[in-house]
């Protein structure tokens, strides 16, 4: 009874030649290692993402920038709820302009990140796309908060 080629490779030593359906071929260490390679998808260093779409360093940078921008925007927005009197008047003079420009910048940045992720082969549930949509919603809510605070 003839052994399948994978068993021939398994029971052969590197450098030994075995007969295959295309003639003889020599066994290398790579042939033996392929037998023990996992047959399931291996997780990449990216969090739920495809490393071919966006690399880990780029993904980290593109996730970090809107987080920092929204944190500072949140502090600025919540400042309007805390201060009162003359300080609130001074804050409200520039708050609408600052709120609109920061929200516009965040939205443009997040849309560009979504476009880049799709362009590089990412999917709808890629962490960059989900994060960008969340940051857009948060920026709009913080801008709404500034509008409400100025009108009070």
Q: How many domains does the chain have?
A: 2
Give 28-76 pLDDT, tens digit per residue.
656 656 656 655 555 545 455 555 677 778 888 889 999 999 999 999 9
* Residues 73 and 138 occupy one common structural domain: yes
Q: Is 120 part of any domain?
A: yes
Contacts 24+ apart (CB under 8 A), 55-64: 59/127, 59/128, 62/113, 62/116, 62/128, 63/127, 63/128, 63/131
pLDDT of residue 69: 93
* Residues 73 and 111 occupy one common structural domain: yes
Compute the distance between CA of residue 114 and CA of residue 5 in angstroms, rounded to an integer: 47
- Selection from 41, 48, 77, 47 nearest residue 60 by Cα: 47
* Residues 136 and 61 occupy one common structural domain: yes
Distance (Å) of CA 12 to CA 9, 23, 35, 39: 5, 16, 12, 22
Q: Is 44 part of any domain?
A: no
């Amino acid at each position: 009874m003839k052994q399948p080629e994978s068993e021939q490779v398994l029971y052969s030593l590197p450098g030994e030649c075995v007969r295959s359906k295309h003639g003889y071929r020599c066994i290398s260490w790579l042939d033996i290692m392929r037998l023990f390679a996992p047959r399931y998808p291996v997780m990449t260093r990216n969090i739920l993402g495809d490393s071919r779409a966006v690399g880990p360093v780029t993904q980290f940078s593109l996730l970090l920038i809107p987080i920092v921008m929204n944190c500072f925007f949140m502090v600025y927005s919540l400042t309007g709820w805390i201060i009162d009197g003359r300080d609130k008047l001074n804050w409200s003079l520039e708050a609408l302009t600052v709120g609109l420009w920061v929200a516009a910048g965040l939205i443009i940045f997040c849309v560009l990140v979504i476009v880049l992720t799709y362009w590089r082969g990412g999917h709808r549930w890629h962490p960059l796309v989900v994060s960008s949509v969340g940051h857009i919603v948060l920026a709009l809510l913080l801008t709404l908060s500034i509008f409400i605070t100025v009108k009070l």
